[in-house]
Amino acid sequence: MRAFQVTGFDTAPQLVETDCPVPGPGQVLVRISACGLNFADLLMMSGRYQDTPAPPFTLGMEIAGTIEALGPGVTGTAPGTRVAVFAGQGGLAEYGVFDAARCVAIPDMMPDTHAAGFLVAYGTSHVALARRARLGQGERLLVLGAGGGVGLTAVELGAGMGAEVIAVARGADKLEAARAAGARHLLDATEVDLRGAVKDLGGADVVYDAVGGDMFTAALRATNPLGRILCIGFASGTVPQIPANHLLVKNIDVIGLYWGGYLKFAPQILTDSLSELMQMYAEGRIAPHIGATRELGAAAEALGLLKDRRVAGKVVVTI
């Protein structure tokens, strides 16, 4: 089978021919149809992600596909079942073996491209906003990086929860995608004084930050007393240093959210969240925004689109 693999952190990933894997105890073999790309894939390429495996390994954290075979001891599912899987790695390939417990059944009306870009983006924003930040109706939600795959889901879910959403993104196309997802206020990150613009709108009660860097600092200064700031990621490449005295004076909470980490200490939270999100999808309450698709042979190009932030929404590789 073909797989897009990291063979070393000092060399570019490449498409290779390798043996088709065999499922072990508790695992299933999945014929992969689509793989959603995430910023963490870029970090893995250089060995900078917190869960980077040792090379060689296949990139691709989340997939959609069809179960082909069951490993020993697997019950409750059957070959032919369409599933989405948060795999952590192994998605940019024609086949993969994954723990059966991580498989989520895909609704019949959900295309594979939607399913492959669904779990991480929607799962992160749902747990962050509903559980960690306890976003309330009528609160003002500031979303940094609102044009990205994860940021757009925060806009959409936040608006659905009754929040007044301020979307910050770069360029008209990404801001238009945020408006379509439910944002009430649009701020171009390249043209505004973020702190001043947000304060003019009344300040932020909750900040959803997938960017970090200077934007975090500006957002912190525009956060209202009793506000909550969600640290989701650092797409800017800079991890902000937080002045604790600002938190003290304004009674602000800074909340970390690593969605995949819940698999190790509270997996039921993710299971319950994804079940609710799948129901929302089936009812037409949420609609994933796929900004670009590429075939497996163009995986390097797809990762380049993600790295350069040239696409609004998710980038998905079809297999």
* CATH code for position 32: 3.90.180.10
Same domain as 156, residue 106: no
Tell me if 265 is assigned to some domain: no
Q: The domain spanning residue 237 has which CATH number?
A: 3.40.50.720
Q: How many domains does the chain have?
A: 2
Contact status, residue 81 vs residue 107, Cβ threshold 8 Å: no
Instruction: State residue 174's pLDDT score.
Output: 94
Same domain as 246, residue 127: yes
Q: Supply the range of the domain harboring residue 133.
A: 120-260
Instruction: State residue 115's pLDDT score.
Output: 96
Instruction: State residue 193's pLDDT score.
Output: 95
Same domain as 124, residue 114: no
Instruction: State residue 50's pLDDT score.
Output: 84
Tell me if 211 is assigned to some domain: yes
Q: Which of 260, 277, 296 is the last residue of a domain?
A: 260
Same domain as 128, residue 250: yes
Same domain as 136, residue 256: yes
Instruction: State residue 217's pLDDT score.
Output: 96
Same domain as 214, residue 172: yes
Contact status, residue 101 vs residue 54, Cβ threshold 8 Å: no
Instruction: State residue 76's pLDDT score.
Output: 87
Same domain as 68, residue 149: no
Tell me if 267 is assigned to some domain: no
* 145-177: burial string, b at 16+ Cβ within 10 Å, e else: bbbbbbbbbbbbbbbebebbbbbbbbbeebbeb
Q: What is the 3-state secondary structure (H, E, C) of the chain?
A: CEEEEECCCCCCCEEEECCCCCCCCCEEEEEEEEEECCHHHHHHHCCCCCCCCCCCEECCCEEEEEEEEECCCCCCCCCCCEEEEECCCCCCECEEEEEHHHEEECCCCCCHHHHHCCHHHHHHHHHHHHHHCCCCCCCEEEEECCCEHHHHHHHHHHHHCCCEEEEEECCHHHHHHHHHHCCCEEEECCCCCHHHHHHHCCCEEEEEECCCHHHHHHHHHCEEEEEEEEECCCCCCCCCCCCHHHHHHHCCEEEECCHHHHHHHCHHHHHHHHHHHHHHHHCCCCCCCEEEEEEHHHHHHHHHHHHCCCCCEEEEEEC
Same domain as 146, residue 83: no
Same domain as 248, residue 187: yes
Tell me if 292 is assigned to some domain: yes
Tell me if 202 is assigned to some domain: yes
Same domain as 309, residue 232: no
Tell me if 24 is assigned to some domain: yes
Tell me if 109 is assigned to some domain: yes
Same domain as 167, residue 44: no
306 Cβ contact partners less than 8 Å away, ≥ 6 residues apart: 37, 38, 39, 41, 42, 315
Tell me if 46 is assigned to some domain: yes
Q: Which of 260, 275, 306 is the last residue of a domain?
A: 260
Same domain as 126, residue 79: no
What is the reported pTM?
Answer: 0.89
Mean pLDDT by 10 residues, the chain (319 residues): 96 96 97 96 91 94 97 94 94 97 91 95 97 97 95 97 97 95 96 96 98 96 98 91 94 95 91 92 92 97 93 94
